[in-house]
Chains A and B, each alone.
Chain A
Amino acid sequence: MGTHVPDEYPTLFRSEDMSLVQLFVPAEVAHDTVAELGELGNVEFKDLNPDVNPFQRSFVGEIRRIDEMARRVRFFATQIERERDVLPVRPLYDSAPLITVGPRAAQTMDDLDVTLSAHESRLLEMNEGYELLSGRLAELIEARHVLRETAVFFQRAENNQSEIRTSFDDSSAPLLQHEDRENQYSTVSNVQLDLEFVAGVIDRTRLSTFERVLWRVLRGNLYMNHTDIAEPFVDAATGNSTYKNVFIIFAHGDALLAKIRKVCESLGATLYPIDPNADKRVESLREVNVRLEDLESALYNTGSTRRAELVRIGESLRSWEDVVRKEKAVYETLNLFNYDVGRKTLIAEGWCPHFALRHATEESGTSVPPILHELRTSKTPPTFQRTNKFTEGFQTIMDSYGIATYQEVNPGLFAVVTFPFLFAVMFGDIGHGTIILVAALLMILNERKLVRADLGEIIGTFFYGRYIILLMGLFSIYTGFIYNDIFSKTLHIFQSGWSFPEGSGVVHAEPTGDVYPFGLDPGWHGADNALIFTNSYKMKMSIILGVTHMSFALCMQVPNHLRFKRLTDIYHGFIPQMLFLQSIFGYLVVCIIYKWIVDWSKSPTPPPSLLNMLIGMFLSPGSIAPGTQLYRGQGFVQTVLLLIAVVCIPWMLCVKPYLLWRERQRVRGQGYVGLAVGDDGFDARHDDLEGEEEGNGRAIAADAEEEHEEHDFGEVVIHQVIHTIEFCLGCISHTASYLRLWALSLAHAQLSEVLWDMTLNRVLGAEGFIGQILVVLVFLMWFVLTVAILCVMEGLSAFLHALRLHWVEANSKHYEAGGYQFKPLSFAALNEKE
């Protein structure tokens, strides 16, 4: 087993070589093989049974069992979450792993199944018991309240007994019944109170309805009293609290009492039997208290047992979740395989990076074992760009535009530098750059801890792009030095190229003859006409950077054309496009630089406006108005360039379709009939598998409707017209679009200056103790606003515009983005997704 260093590593320049591999797996080791492949995360399996209903696939039974286990695990997770006091759950990286491969795997899974169902039944039992006990507890508490309150009622009623008797005398009942009642009362004579009553508890919200209904039903023949129960009753299951009242209703006659009882039932009041005898009531109260105590302790015990159970579950919960997830993935993948009944093996097909295959072969030291072999295919493999934690962010932002076509040049590689750079051109400030650099460093230095924490969506996004922010900060500090801007102040590192003479009022600086060696001269800071110079400088800089970026992106076409053997596209696509771009905008860039180099104070003609020059080049080619000449021979040069540009347009438009047409004529002339669409030479039937013995592997899955290129001539012409117009118009609009580099950097500088002027500028130099406090407070305000507005808001804005420049202006020059992402079976990716 040699540790052989490969000569050729896969790079980010283009997506990796993928091979279509066919695996023959004996049924006994299928599960373990797939589990191992899942750990490696190198293979994307194809579905070899696309027409099979998911309920008819081979491993449906296992998946059902796993789903049941998953349901139980989810139940445990929700139960733990619901606990009011947070329950500790052992995290995955800390848990002992469950071995799910090898000879003991089936036993482990069975044990897990049993364990999970045992835990579940215990938990359900405890939950039920707890609810029951809670219900009884509530009842007993209500009963206690009723007993207490009714004691008060009876006392009051005793005191008013005579009054009550009088009130009954005034009732509308006939005399005869009155007599009966008197007899009735005398028999129940050991009762101090001669009334019958019903006592109970009802929801506070229903109380008024209750009273009204009773009044109507009994026609006022009742005496009702009620009190609030102060503490609410909390429902254990739902957590709702309800307020209840104790009531007692005095009435006479069985019929009335029966009616009362019915009304109580209908309105959901609970009735409690209360003994009219005071001693018996005291006895009942004591009994209730005793039972309450017992119940409370039983409840407490159940609660703590339940919590102990949940703690035990919490120890292994994460590893169970992990196992269940993995097993489900394994069985779902096994369902994709084709079962060869004759040989009792499973046949799998999948895409695998070439590098991984070769690496595995070299590591194992033997030739590729016969269970795996590569197939030739005409299908397009998925795109796989191998990224690490540094390049991941950059690749993601470019992938958001579109996944690269298989093996085309990957713009993500260049975005690693160009994206932070263009951001920095719009953000250039040493101070602000330092702030975001520090923020990025904080995230990176605490990487390991933060990766596992749940940061939430917004902070999580910032954390994901921490390396992008790091580079953005570094480049911003550099461009900050170039713009000579630190929190809207300048640095005087070198000797300035301007000296201000003594004087008052309006003073013009004089050049010292030297150029400030690095960046913008600090002499401009604070000058009235600083913006005139800075705007001119930044606009021209934007154009130069823009044309350079676009030319670079255009050149990325060439490796693509070479790779896919499209030489006509180089001659009749790339070259005219490049000529068109350079003859107009490349010329503009050259003129800008030339105009800068010429010493206009020593020239006979005044410096011409470049914008007018460019417009004049198109409107009146060949003639240069006198006094606006940039260099000798300009008229001739501009005419030539214009002609080149004009020639390029029909070149881009017509030559390629013409060549295609000529080729088809030639092919037709030689008597070949065009292949019908869909007739794939690799279309194999199942009996063709016999051929594998000889080693000519055929892909089993007959891919339906592989997209073949339409050789319809009309389509080609239309495509070419669109492409040409898009490119030519795009050249102009995209070049102008780069002026946003100027616009945003101007806005940033101005905002920074305004913030300083409005805050710290006004309090610096304030005297006295108050002055010092004021300076500190205003500094805090300045700092918070700097971070919030200038770093976060402007930063997001510059990020967005830099991204737009990459997506629209640069990618449109070369990026096809017609691929699909490689999605291997990977357990690591599964864990990340959760």
Chain B
Amino acid sequence: MASVFPVVIVLVIVAGLMATSWVFTRKGPQQTLIRTSLMLTLACCYLMWAIAYLAQLHPLEVPRVNLALEH
């Protein structure tokens, strides 16, 4: 059954991952860079996936194929 639930679950998971990456990046000259990159990557990838998922939850169009022409 298509529902929003998976999106919310994954959001929680990604938020958790982001928090983990903030806390557990070891100190060093590259700490800010690694933290920022990891968090931004997680956020961007989640956003991309969530948009694709949400767009197909209750689609307003159905695929239409013309079988006679299909090769």
**Across the two chains, which residue of chain A brings its CB closest to B39?**
A417
A127 contacts chain B at the CB level, 8 A cutoff:
no
1/0 per position for B22-64, CB-CB distance to A under 8 A?
0000011111110011001100110111011111111111111
A515 contacts chain B at the CB level, 8 A cutoff:
yes
| B60 touching A600, Cβ below 8 Å | yes
In the complex, which of the residues A11, A13, A505, A544 contacts B47, with contact meaning CB atoms closer than 8 Å?
A544
Instruction: Tell me the minimal C-beta distance from B63 to chain A in angstroms.
Output: 4
| B56 touching A521, Cβ below 8 Å | yes
**Across the two chains, which residue of chain A brings its CB closest to B61?**
A533
By a CB distance below 8 angstroms, the chain A residues around B30 are 388
A523 contacts chain B at the CB level, 8 A cutoff:
yes
| B70 touching A526, Cβ below 8 Å | yes
In the complex, which of the residues B33, B47, B67 contacts A545, with contact meaning CB atoms closer than 8 Å?
B47
Given A11-B32, A421-B44 in contact, is the A533-B37 Cβ separation under 8 Å?
Answer: no
A391 contacts chain B at the CB level, 8 A cutoff:
yes
A270 contacts chain B at the CB level, 8 A cutoff:
no
| B57 touching A413, Cβ below 8 Å | no
By a CB distance below 8 angstroms, the chain B residues around A593 are 54
| B36 touching A597, Cβ below 8 Å | no
**Across the two chains, which residue of chain B brings its CB closest to A516?**
B56
| A9 touching B63, Cβ below 8 Å | no
| A505 touching B67, Cβ below 8 Å | yes
Given A414-B40, A526-B70, A545-B47 in contact, is the A520-B56 Cβ separation under 8 Å?
Answer: yes
The number of inter-chain residue pairs (CB within 8 angstroms) is: 144
Select the stretch in A77-85, A160-168, A495-503 that faces chain B: A495-503
In the complex, which of the residues B44, B58, B68 contacts A504, with contact meaning CB atoms closer than 8 Å?
B68
By a CB distance below 8 angstroms, the chain B residues around A413 are 32-33, 36
| B63 touching A596, Cβ below 8 Å | no
| B53 touching A515, Cβ below 8 Å | yes
| A506 touching B28, Cβ below 8 Å | no
By a CB distance below 8 angstroms, the chain A residues around B4 are 597
A707 contacts chain B at the CB level, 8 A cutoff:
no
By a CB distance below 8 angstroms, the chain A residues around B49 are 482, 518-519
| B68 touching A505, Cβ below 8 Å | yes
| A596 touching B44, Cβ below 8 Å | no
**Across the two chains, which residue of chain A brings its CB closest to B66?**
A506
A97 contacts chain B at the CB level, 8 A cutoff:
no
In the complex, which of the residues A391, A418, A527, A541 contacts B63, with contact meaning CB atoms closer than 8 Å?
A527
Query: Which of A388, A482, A513, A515 has the most chain B CB within a 10 Å cutoff?
Result: A515
Instruction: Tell me the minimal C-beta distance from A722 to chain B in angstroms.
Output: 32
Which residues of A132-172 have CB atoms within 8 Å of chain B's CB atoms?
none
**Across the two chains, which residue of chain B brings its CB closest to A548?**
B47
By a CB distance below 8 angstroms, the chain B residues around A425 are 48
**Across the two chains, which residue of chain B brings its CB closest to A544?**
B51
A597, B55: Cα distance in complex, Å? 8
A536, B56: Cα distance in complex, Å? 11
In the complex, which of the residues B2, B44, B51 contacts A418, with contact meaning CB atoms closer than 8 Å?
B44
| B58 touching A600, Cβ below 8 Å | yes
A540 contacts chain B at the CB level, 8 A cutoff:
yes
Instruction: Tell me the minimal C-beta distance from B6 to chain A in angstroms.
Output: 8
| A607 touching B37, Cβ below 8 Å | no
By a CB distance below 8 angstroms, the chain B residues around A479 are 48
| B63 touching A11, Cβ below 8 Å | no
| A528 touching B36, Cβ below 8 Å | no
| A417 touching B56, Cβ below 8 Å | no
By a CB distance below 8 angstroms, the chain A residues around B40 are 414, 416-418, 421
Given A9-B28, A504-B67 in contact, is the A598-B51 Cβ separation under 8 Å?
Answer: no
| B52 touching A529, Cβ below 8 Å | no
A514, B33: Cα distance in complex, Å? 39
| B56 touching A515, Cβ below 8 Å | yes
Which residues of A541-559 have CB atoms within 8 Å of chain B's CB atoms?
541, 544-545, 548
Instruction: Tell me the minimal C-beta distance from B22 to chain A in angstroms.
Output: 14
| A513 touching B2, Cβ below 8 Å | yes
Instruction: Tell me the minimal C-beta distance from B60 to chain A in angstroms.
Output: 6
**Across the two chains, which residue of chain A brings its CB closest to B51?**
A541
Given A414-B36, A482-B48, A544-B47 in contact, is the A511-B62 Cβ separation under 8 Å?
Answer: yes
Which residues of A463-494 have CB atoms within 8 Å of chain B's CB atoms?
475, 478-479, 482
**Across the two chains, which residue of chain B brings its CB closest to A14?**
B32
By a CB distance below 8 angstroms, the chain A residues around B2 are 497, 513-515
By a CB distance below 8 angstroms, the chain B residues around A679 are none
A102, B47: Cα distance in complex, Å? 61
**Across the two chains, which residue of chain A brings its CB closest to B55?**
A537
| A482 touching B56, Cβ below 8 Å | no
| B67 touching A503, Cβ below 8 Å | yes
| A507 touching B65, Cβ below 8 Å | yes
Query: Which of A12, A388, A507 has the most chain B CB within a 10 Å cutoff?
Result: A507
Instruction: Tell me the minimal C-beta distance from A802 to chain B in angstroms.
Output: 13
In the complex, which of the residues B41, B63, B64 contacts A417, with contact meaning CB atoms closer than 8 Å?
B41
By a CB distance below 8 angstroms, the chain A residues around B70 are 526
In the complex, which of the residues B28, B33, B44 contacts A391, with contact meaning CB atoms closer than 8 Å?
B33
Instruction: Tell me the minimal C-beta distance from B69 to chain A in angstroms.
Output: 9
**Across the two chains, which residue of chain A brings its CB closest to B4?**
A597
A31, B47: Cα distance in complex, Å? 58
| A498 touching B62, Cβ below 8 Å | yes
A729 contacts chain B at the CB level, 8 A cutoff:
no
Given A506-B64, A544-B51, A607-B60 in contact, is the A417-B33 Cβ separation under 8 Å?
Answer: no
A401 contacts chain B at the CB level, 8 A cutoff:
no
| B60 touching A540, Cβ below 8 Å | no
| A597 touching B61, Cβ below 8 Å | no
By a CB distance below 8 angstroms, the chain B residues around A10 are 29
By a CB distance below 8 angstroms, the chain B residues around A548 are 47
A508 contacts chain B at the CB level, 8 A cutoff:
yes
| A9 touching B66, Cβ below 8 Å | no
Given A13-B32, A416-B37 in contact, is the A537-B66 Cβ separation under 8 Å?
Answer: no
| A540 touching B51, Cβ below 8 Å | yes
Which residues of A425-469 have CB atoms within 8 Å of chain B's CB atoms?
425
A677, B10: Cα distance in complex, Å? 58
| A529 touching B61, Cβ below 8 Å | yes
A106 contacts chain B at the CB level, 8 A cutoff:
no
1/0 per position for A31-71, CB-CB distance to B under 8 A?
00000000000000000000000000000000000000000
By a CB distance below 8 angstroms, the chain B residues around A712 are none
A530 contacts chain B at the CB level, 8 A cutoff:
yes
By a CB distance below 8 angstroms, the chain A residues around B44 are 417-418, 421, 475
| B62 touching A532, Cβ below 8 Å | no
A518, B36: Cα distance in complex, Å? 25
By a CB distance below 8 angstroms, the chain A residues around B57 are 515, 596-597, 599
| B66 touching A505, Cβ below 8 Å | yes
In the complex, which of the residues A388, A497, A527 contacts B65, with contact meaning CB atoms closer than 8 Å?
A527
| A500 touching B33, Cβ below 8 Å | no
| A598 touching B58, Cβ below 8 Å | yes
A11, B35: Cα distance in complex, Å? 11
**Across the two chains, which residue of chain B brings its CB closest to A601?**
B58
By a CB distance below 8 angstroms, the chain B residues around A598 are 58
By a CB distance below 8 angstroms, the chain B residues around A504 are 67-68
By a CB distance below 8 angstroms, the chain A residues around B66 are 505-507, 528
Instruction: Tell me the minimal C-beta distance from B11 to chain A in angstroms.
Output: 12
A9, B27: Cα distance in complex, Å? 9
A178, B33: Cα distance in complex, Å? 107
Instruction: Tell me the minimal C-beta distance from A161 to chain B in angstroms.
Output: 95
Q: A507-B66, A509-B62, A596-B54 are in contact. List 8 more A-B contacts (CB 8 A).
A: A13-B36, A417-B40, A418-B40, A425-B48, A533-B63, A536-B55, A597-B54, A607-B60
Please list 10 pairs of residues, one from A and one from B, whose beta carbons are closer than 8 Å in the complex, sorted by A's number. Answer: A391-B33, A421-B44, A497-B2, A505-B67, A506-B64, A509-B63, A517-B6, A528-B66, A544-B51, A600-B60
Interface residues of A (CB under 8 A from B): 5, 7, 9-13, 388, 391, 413-414, 416-418, 421, 425, 475, 478-479, 482, 497-498, 500, 503-511, 513-521, 523-524, 526-530, 532-533, 536-537, 540-541, 544-545, 548, 593, 596-601, 607
Interface residues of B (CB under 8 A from A): 1-2, 4, 6, 27-33, 36-37, 40-41, 44-45, 47-49, 51-68, 70
Q: Which 8 A-B pairs have the closest CB atoms?
A: A11-B32, A527-B63, A417-B40, A596-B54, A509-B63, A537-B55, A9-B29, A599-B58
